[in-house]
Amino acid sequence: MLVEERRQRVLDLVSERGFVALNDLAQTVEVSESTLRRDLDYWHKQGMLRRTHGGAMFVGDVATLPALEERSASQLEEKKLLAHAAVSRIQDGDTILLDGGTTTLEVARLLVGRSLQIVTNSLPIASLFAASREIDLVILGGYVYPKTGVALGPLTVRMMEDIHVQQLLMSVGGITGKGLFNSNLLLVETERQMMRCADEVVVLADHTKIGRQALAHLCNLTDIDTLIVDNQLDAAQRELLRQNDVRLMVAGEAENNHL
C-alpha cells in the first residue's frame, strides 16, 4: 500500500470509530506500530486527529468524503441544473474527462447515447457507459476509495500522463477567495493531474460551495477556465466571484458572463 493510501485509510478508520487504539489500528492496517505513529503524527499536525496515550481520537469534520449515496440527494435540483448547463457546451465527437462526484454523475446521465470519448476515474460513471456503443470509454485505475467508487492517488495520476482531453468537468468541496478546495488529499493530487490533461478546466459548483473551505487546497481561481454555478447565489457570493474575475456561467440565467 502506498503512503498516501495508507494515511487516508488510517484517517478513515479513526474518523469512523471516533477513537482507535494503536494496536487495533496496526492489526487492521497491517503495518507496524512505529509506521502508524508517523501517520498519526502527520494527521495530528494537520489538525484532523489528536494523539492520545495508546491511540488517536478524531477531531476533524471534513477529512473524508461522505458516501456517494449520502451526497446524491443534497442540492439535487441545483446539480441537475448545473449538469444541463455543462452538457449544452459539449459537442458530439468531443473528448471529455469526468471526475467522480454526484454533480458529474448527473452530467454523465445526460451524456448517455451521445457520440463521445469519455475518460473517468469513477466506477459509478463508467458503469453508465460500459454497454454504450456510441461512447468510447477509458477507465482510470488505481486505489479505489470505498465510499465513492472513485480511483485516486499516484497510480491514477500516472495513468493520465499520456492522456489529453478537450474538457475536464469536475466538482469541488468549496470555493473561497483563496481558491478551490476538496475534502481528500488523494483526490486533490489526482485532480491536479486531471487539470494538466485538459484544454479547458470546467468546475461545477452549486451555491452552497461558494464561501466554503475544505481540508485540502486544490488550486487558485485563476487556474480554472470556467465555473458553472446555479442561480441561487446571494450578493456576497457574487461579489466574491466578481472580485476574482472568474469566467462564470450561471445556470438558469439568460446571459452568462463575468459578474
Q: Which residue segments constitute the domains of the chain, with CATH numbers given?
A: 3-58 (1.10.10.10), 68-251 (3.40.50.1360)
Give the span between the Cα atoms of 45 and 40, in whole angstroms. 9
On the question of pLDDT at 139 being above 70, the answer is yes
pLDDT of residue 68: 53
How does DSSP assign 69-127, residue by residue?
HHHHTTTHHHHHHHHHHHHTTPPTT-EEEE-SSHHHHHHHHHHTTS-EEEEESBHHHHH
Ranked by mean pLDDT, the top range of 52-61, 158-167, 246-255 is: 158-167
pLDDT of residue 254: 57
pLDDT of residue 132: 87
Q: Which three cell numbers stand for residue 40?
A: 498519526
Residue 84 pLDDT level (bands cut at 50, 70, 90): very high
Give the span between the Cα atoms of 9 and 7, in whole angstroms. 5
pLDDT of residue 147: 73
pLDDT of residue 52: 77
pLDDT of residue 1: 64
Question: Beta-carbon neighbour count of residue 76 at 10 Å?
Answer: 14
On the question of pLDDT at 59 being above 80, the answer is no
Bridge partners for 64 per DSSP: none
Indicate the range of 1-5, 63-67, 117-121 predicted with least confidence. 63-67
Percentage of the chain lying above the pLDDT 90 cut: 52
Q: Are 43 and 123 in contact (CB under 8 A)?
A: no
Residue 144 pLDDT level (bands cut at 50, 70, 90): confident
Percentage of the chain lying above the pLDDT 70 cut: 90
Residue 14 pLDDT level (bands cut at 50, 70, 90): confident
Mean pLDDT of the chain: 87
Residue 258 pLDDT level (bands cut at 50, 70, 90): very low
On the question of pLDDT at 80 being above 60, the answer is yes
Torsion 24-25-29-33 (CA) sign = negative
On the question of pLDDT at 69 being above 90, the answer is no
pLDDT digits (tens, 9 = 90+) for 201-233: 999 999 999 999 888 899 999 999 999 999 999
Phi first, then psi, for residue 140 (nearest 5°) are: -85, 130
Overall average pLDDT of the 150-168 stretch = 93
On the question of pLDDT at 61 being above 50, the answer is no
Give the span between the Cα atoms of 239 and 244, in whole angstroms. 9
3-state secondary structure of 173: coil
Give the span between the Cα atoms of 184 and 249, in whole angstroms. 26
